[in-house]
Structure 1
Amino acid sequence: MSPRPPIAAELAAHLPTGEPSRPFVDGPQGVTELRAAMREYEESVAEVREQTGAQIDEVVVGGVPVIVVRPPAGDPQRGVVLNIHGGGLIAGSHLSVLGSNVRTALGLGCTMVIPDYRLAPEHPYPAALDDVHAVWEWMLTGGLGAETGLSRTVVMGGSAGGLLAASLILRLRERGGDGPDALVLVQPQLDDRNTQPSTHEIDLAHFWDRPSNLQSWAMYLAGTDALPVEAVPARATDLAGFPPTFIEIGQVDLFRDEELEFAARLSRAGVPVEAHLWAGAFHGFDGLTETRTAQRAIADRLAYLRFALSGA
Structure 2
Amino acid sequence: MDPELEAFIALFPASRLDDPVADRESFAKLATSVPKPDTSAMTIEDRTVPGDPEVAIRVYRPIEAPGAIVWLHGGGWVMGDLDTEHPWAARLAEASGAVVISVNYRLAPENPFPAAIDDVYTVLTWAAENAAELGVTPDRIAIGGHSAGGGLAAATALRARDEQGPPIRFQLLNQPGLDDRLETWSARNFTDTPWVYREKLAAMWRYYLDGQPASSAYAAPARATDLSGLPPAYLATAEFCPNRDENIDYAVRLMRAGVPVELHQWPGTFHGSQAILSADVSRRQIAELGDVLRRALQSA
1:96 is displaced (CA, Å) by 1.6
In 2, distance between residues paired with 1:57 and 1:228? 34
1:9 aligns with 2:3: yes
Query: Residue 36 of structure 1: which of 25, 47, 62 is its match?
Result: 25
In 1, distance between residues paired with 2:106 and 2:241? 25
In the TM superposition, what whole-angstrom CA distance separates every residue of 1:18-54 from its partner, at most 9, and x where no partner exists?
A: 9x9x7x3242x2x2232012212556xxx979x5252
Tell me what 1:243 maps to.
Answer: 231
Check 1:150–1:279 CA distance in 2 against 1; reply closer, same or farther (3 A cut): same
- Structural mapping, 1:225-240, within 5 Å: 227-240=215-228
Tell me what 2:48 maps to.
Answer: 60
- Native 8 Å contact 1:121 1:220 kept in 2: yes
Tell me what 1:222 maps to.
Answer: 210
- Structural mapping, 1:121-140, within 5 Å: 121-140=109-128
TM-score under structure 2 length normalisation: 0.90
Amino acid at match of 1:123: N
- Native 8 Å contact 1:81 1:112 kept in 2: yes
In 2, distance between residues paired with 1:262 and 1:90? 23
What are the ranges of 5 or more consecutive residues in structure 1 without an aligned counterpart? 1-6
Which runs of structure 1 show a deviation greater than 4 angstroms over 4 or more consecutive aligned residues? 223-226
SS in 2 for 1:289: coil
Tell me what 1:4 maps to.
Answer: none
In 1, distance between residues paired with 2:214 and 2:95? 43
- Structural mapping, 1:98-247, within 5 Å: 98-142=86-130, 145=133, 147-222=135-210, 227-247=215-235
Check 1:146–1:204 CA distance in 2 against 1; reply closer, same or farther (3 A cut): closer
Tell me what 1:25 maps to.
Answer: 16
Check 1:32–1:179 CA distance in 2 against 1; reply closer, same or farther (3 A cut): same
TM-score under structure 1 length normalisation: 0.87
In the TM superposition, what whole-angstrom CA distance separates every residue of 1:271-310 from its partner, at most 9, and x where no partner exists?
A: 1101000112110011111112112222222221111011
In 2, distance between residues paired with 1:146 and 1:247? 26
Check 1:146–1:201 CA distance in 2 against 1; reply closer, same or farther (3 A cut): closer
In 2, distance between residues paired with 1:307 and 1:226? 34
1:140 is displaced (CA, Å) by 1.0
- Native 8 Å contact 1:239 1:269 kept in 2: yes
- Native 8 Å contact 1:162 1:186 kept in 2: yes
- Native 8 Å contact 2:98 2:294 kept in 1: no
1:107 is displaced (CA, Å) by 3.7
SS in 2 for 1:139: helix
- Structural mapping, 1:80-91, within 5 Å: 80-91=68-79
Identity between Structure 1 and Structure 2 (%): 34
Check 1:78–1:26 CA distance in 2 against 1; reply closer, same or farther (3 A cut): closer
1:162 is displaced (CA, Å) by 0.5
Q: Find the structure with the greater CA-based Rg.
A: 1
SS in 2 for 1:16: helix
Check 1:34–1:223 CA distance in 2 against 1; reply closer, same or farther (3 A cut): closer
In 1, distance between residues paired with 2:124 and 2:90? 19
Amino acid at match of 2:9: L
- Native 8 Å contact 2:56 2:103 kept in 1: yes
What are the ranges of 5 or more consecutive residues in structure 2 without an aligned counterpart? none
Check 1:308–1:53 CA distance in 2 against 1; reply closer, same or farther (3 A cut): closer
**What is the alpha-carbon root mean square deviation over aligned residues?**
2.3
In 1, distance between residues paired with 2:213 and 2:220? 13
SS in 2 for 1:40: helix
* Count of aligned residue pairs for this structure pair: 294
Check 1:57–1:32 CA distance in 2 against 1; reply closer, same or farther (3 A cut): same
Check 1:79–1:307 CA distance in 2 against 1; reply closer, same or farther (3 A cut): same
Check 1:55–1:223 CA distance in 2 against 1; reply closer, same or farther (3 A cut): same
